[in-house]
Structure 1
Amino acid sequence: MNPLQELRDLDGPGTALTAEGLVRAGRARVRRRRQAVAGLAAVLVLVLTVGTAAVAGLQQPPHPADRGRPYPGPMSGLPPAPAACDVQMLPLPSGVEGTGPPVIDSTGHWAAGLMDDHTGVVIWRDGVVFGVDGDEQVQYLHAVNSSGTAVGSANVAGRAAAVTFTDRMNVLPLPAGMPVTTSLWGTGINGAGTVVGYTTASSNVSKPVLWRDGKAELLAVPGGGSGAANWISDDGWVGGLVGQVYDAYRPYVWRPDGTGFELPLPAGVGKGMVNAIAGEWAVDFDNHLRWRLTTPGTPLPQPFGVADGIYVRALAADGTVTLSGSKSASLWGFGDPVDLPLPAGFSKYQMGGISADGRVIGGVAQHLMDANTFGGEPFRWVC
């Protein structure tokens, strides 16, 4: 999730859990307070601009209608019934008490979760701990790719920095000419390792950024205005928004060649963004909208209804989204929702990422006594 998504989801479990004895726990609380002040200030800068949530070879046809890939059909690749999905708790390294909802890569083999005290990231491969990066001041964790590299944001030298994680944290460079005080947020990564995100240099200006081979470049925004990149698909499509903070920002998509186009909103909807792109679909989590990018002409928004208190979390390649309530989890394709089984003995749940075929989904569970804390016990559904 990116900063705006995090604020919207404060009623659910947060993004990560960790404590290694009383000494580390005390230090973590101090770090968290300091980080919260800096992080919240940065979040408020973008509170009305950026929402999130899939990952880049950049040589594709210039128009979505020309991509030539057949539409797989409604609910393709999804489990036929909830009984087909197993709940598997994810193991935690020694000293780590929990994480936030795990993000999932497109293949379903990799997962990553932010520790609850924001001091590091846990990475799993096929349900087994693969790596741990600790002793950092991590603010957000957004995505992981099919090589096991995760992306997010961390507090580095007093500013927000876009970072990747493997067995250690790597700080991504600022675009050329940007002041060193510029905040930088990493929001998406694809299978080729291409990363997207955005900068914030003032209270009303943000710029979408793409990193290829470790080098930062700005994505073009109509009229040279503000924008943000929230996600990148495995075939290089980038989703985000254009428009300034507090204005009527609009959903926007960049093609793999760097050109872009705005997606329409339904009548009466004044603001929107693309939180995720997967396969042929883009989604706006807050407005409950999907666009099929291979539709000839301008893709029209396709609304889907969800109950109050249910959050859209992630997008699979066939357009299916994950829906999360405090005591429910389901998949919503183009028919009735498919409910997922929940781990027993917990009082609150939150979904994380989903694989491209919809068969692996991340989640976190909390006990009643921990329901107001940040993070929980990570698990995954394997369908």
Structure 2
Amino acid sequence: MTAMDEARQAAGAVATPPPAPPPAHVVSKEPWDPYVAEKLTAEQERFYMAGQWKLMWWRLRRHKPAVICGGFLLFMYLVTLVSEIIAPYDQHTRHIRHIFAPPQGIHLFHEGSFVGPFTYGYKMERDPDTLQRIYTEDKSTTHPVRFFCLGESYEFWGLIEGRFHLACPSEGGTLFLLGTDRLGRDMFSRIVYAARISLTVGLFGISLSFVLGLVIGGIAGYYGGWIDNIIQRAIEIIKSFPHLPLWLALSAALPVTWSPLLVYFGITIILALLDWPGLARAVRSKLLSLREEDFATAAALMGASPQRIIGRHLIPSFMSHLIASATLSIPSMILAETALSFLGLGLRPPITSWGVLLNEATDINVVAVNWWLMLPVVPVILVILSFQFFGDGLRDAADPYH
């Protein structure tokens, strides 16, 4: 016992207990002194000094399915930027001699010798009973596949004329990797072009929904009282309606005279207006607890306006959680657009989306014979699953107690 402790006991004071020993994982070469602060290692200092976003990134990297799915989604969105280059044909180019042509395989060897990537031509016959087109491979000639080549002309994003493609058919040959439709249009090219529309609908829709959810949920959570009651009753009324019939009713109300671009933005606004209540409730519940914290009270005492307190202090403290929640809402918007277009009440030609392509495969007799018309459902499934896994990983990474 030190002299100071003896003096305190003599004065009738209670001796201050020594601090607890360091945790077992803290390794120190110096003998432990309860009144001397321990030095942190470089790794510990890096961890304790890391910000919220860096910690979230470290946790996300450990979630392997989320990382893989995030890479796939990044690849898909990069493809939408260069759809004209990836697609060997324009989405509206018709090949009247190859209507309902089956997918062509890529071959490397011809008659035992290596030729390189090439396709065989088609031989077309008609069934004398059903008049159906029957295609077989014409192995007498080969059509080499050219890479990084000049092919069919296009307008890049509708602005710049170009002819550069990632892959092109040879002169006189064809390159129908996923077959053709009832008008002889290349299905692979149309799926690539459709990805730009279907994927951006989800992004634009969630952006608008995100803004509405933050503003309305922020007002309800910060002010509370009768304002909160009115907003909560409005959210309950909106969520009480079945979504699919409401989507159908609002989509059917869009004027048929609208241009395809206006229809696109109209569908996006409809999806966003029906998606914001869930995000608004999440924002409200967070703000109801955070508005009583010391930092919010200090900001109010310093004269900060409610808008500044909500926008600069409260919402940024749980923005990572909101981004994870928004990521899980994007696939629902993609599915909603696909469903509406499939039913003929969403986007309409000449706009091409995955739902529009699936709408052309509604005839079961056509699908039974020409199965490749159902292939647009494959990217829909892959993208939806990727968003779910990626969103789950983001949500776990944003949870500080996970």
Class of the TM-score when normalised by the shorter of the 2 chains: under 0.3
Q: Which has the larger radius of gyration?
A: 2
When normalised by structure 1's length, the TM-score is 0.22
When normalised by structure 2's length, the TM-score is 0.21
Please state which structure has a larger fraction of its residues in strand: 1
